[in-house]
């Protein structure tokens, strides 16, 4: 697949050959769904906790005698049907995380990248950095490709100055080419990828996963 490479000013510079096995695959909706659900599950904290009747503080005595009052029979004050009593089948701390096969995860990333490329929502731009680390300098670049849209910038390395410049941009997120997230990529309206990251991705996904 051939894609145009743009300058930071939005001008066409040249074309680049992208690996068809990464950027031109049929979109597999199932694996994308599994990968996103896996990421969301792994982010869950799982600290919700309720007390059952054995953990609630209170007396074990019955509030009134079993027979002779004409009222329904009752247990102690800690009964779940009593105000302030225990909770029936309430949540307890648990680990929601789980793993999916590496091949499934890699296929999901390639499917999302292919989808973005086919929809022309993937823009390849020349390698750059924001030496000043200022937000306004990064905004000028981003606005040439995406205006007021949820945008993902894929970096060729962990560029601290670019990340610093975009730290307070709510609609801009950053991913390294070797640490992609399916959720961010899928829901990003625009994906801006550095030229170096595009080349590295092709090599990265050529490696077979056993």
Tell me the CATH number at 180.
3.40.1370.10
Structural domain contains residue 42 = no
Domains contained in the chain, number: 1
78 falls within a domain: no
CA atoms within 13 A on the CB side of 156: 15
What is the pTM for the complete model shown? 0.82
User: What domain range is 173 assigned to?
Assistant: 2-27+101-204
Any domain includes 81: no
The answer as to whether 185 is a domain residue is yes
32-57 pLDDT, tens digit each: 999 999 999 999 999 999 999 999 99
Classify each residue of 121-151 as buried b or exposed e, where b means 16 or more C-beta atoms within 10 Å of its C-beta.
bbbbbeeeebeebebeebeebbebbbeeeeb
C-alpha distances in Å from residue 125, one per residue of 35, 188, 197, 198: 27, 17, 10, 10
Tell me the per-residue pLDDT of 93-120, one tens digit each, with 9 for 90 and over.
Answer: 999 999 999 999 999 999 999 999 999 8
Q: Is residue 124 part of a domain?
A: yes
In a domain, 40, yes or no: no
The answer as to whether 75 is a domain residue is no
């Amino acid at each position: 697949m051939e894609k145009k490479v743009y300058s930071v000013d939005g001008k066409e510079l040249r074309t680049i050959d992208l690996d068809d096995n990464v950027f031109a695959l049929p979109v597999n909706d199932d694996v994308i769904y599994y990968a996103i659900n896996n990421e969301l599950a792994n982010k869950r904290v799982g600290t919700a906790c309720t007390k059952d009747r054995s953990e609630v503080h209170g007396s074990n005595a019955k509030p009134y005698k079993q027979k002779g009052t004409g009222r329904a029979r009752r247990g102690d004050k800690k009964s779940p049907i009593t105000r302030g009593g225990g909770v029936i089948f309430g949540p307890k701390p648990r680990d929601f995380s789980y793993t999916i096969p590496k091949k499934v995860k890699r296929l999901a990333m390639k499917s999302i990248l292919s989808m973005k490329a086919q929809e022309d929502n993937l823009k390849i731009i020349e390698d750059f950095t924001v030496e000043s680390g200022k937000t306004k300098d990064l905004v000028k670049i981003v606005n040439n490709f995406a205006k007021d849209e949820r945008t993902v910038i894929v970096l060729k390395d962990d560029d601290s100055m670019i990340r610093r410049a975009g730290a307070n941009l709510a609609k801009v997120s950053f991913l390294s080419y070797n640490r992609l997230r399916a959720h961010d990529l899928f829901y990003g309206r625009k994906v801006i990828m550095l030229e170096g990251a595009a080349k590295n991705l092709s090599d990265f996904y050529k490696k077979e996963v056993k």
